[in-house]
Amino acid sequence: MSDANEKAAPACAACELPTGIKICFTESGHGSKGCPTLAHKGLLKEARALYEESEVFQFARNASIQEGECYTNKVQNPFVLEPTKTRIVEICEFAHKMGYKRLGLAFCIGLANEAAVVNKMFTNQGFEVVSVICKVGGELKEGLGIDPKDFIMPPLKETMCNPIFQAKLLNAEKTEFNVLLGLCVGHDSLFFKHADAYTTVLAVKDRVTGHNPLAAIYLSHSYYGKIMSKP
């Protein structure tokens, strides 16, 4: 039985307990007001049960092993985090661990050069790659009721991004694991919703920061402070 409606909504992002004494981090820790680790035992049990399914178990297990393998010098005392693997390396290693042979690569036309490099990397690593660009299908934006004034380069005709078609093509090709590269906000959501295989993200779209959205977050207390107030 779900207990989601009986408790306060989780607010972990506002939890001010130091990491080392959080109940979600250490068994002897504590929780903040409304802490979901303490208040939602029923949902926790439901979630835990889902890991028992064989494929999910292997997926979750390998994801955790991959996470741990990122670090080196793990027995040094005092312990210091020393990560060694980039995201692209982790994706390749994880896919190998899972025994996946056939990868889907759903990418944005604005990152076509990067997609070509990633395609080569995956191929060199021994994967079969099925790659699909965001504009696939060539449908016009008018079909979504978009006024030309809302185009990127009005008044030129523009084709719409079609993440549902991207997902369906990869589904039809029976990709075992999909990698997203640079899809826009919302287009990525539609892809996640319609893809059959699990999907990971190599990079998200952020046109201003060279696809490094955290740059805006890191600068939010200084040069990008305007993001902290209402427009």
The residues of the shown chain that bind ligand SF4, judged by CB under 6 A, are: 12, 15, 17, 22-24, 31-32, 35-37
Which of residues 25 and 57 has its CB atom nearest to ligand SF4 in the complex?
25
Which of residues 8 and 217 has its CB atom nearest to ligand SF4 in the complex?
8
What one-character-per-residue DSSP string does 44-99 give?
A: HHHHHHHTTSHHHHHHHHHHHHHHHHTB--TT-SS----B---HHHHHHHHHHHTT
How far apart are the C-alpha atoms of 27 and 18, rounded to whole Å?
14
Which of residues 23 and 121 has its CB atom nearest to ligand SF4 in the complex?
23
How far apart are the C-alpha atoms of 4 and 111, rounded to whole Å?
40
* Residue 7 structure tokens: 């408790």
Other beta carbons within 10 angstroms of residue 91's beta carbon come to 22
Q: How far is the CB of 134 from ligand SF4 (least distance, A)?
A: 36
Which of residues 31 and 42 has its CB atom nearest to ligand SF4 in the complex?
31
Q: How far is the CB of 152 from ligand SF4 (least distance, A)?
A: 40
Q: How far is the CB of 20 from ligand SF4 (least distance, A)?
A: 11
Q: How far is the CB of 10 from ligand SF4 (least distance, A)?
A: 6
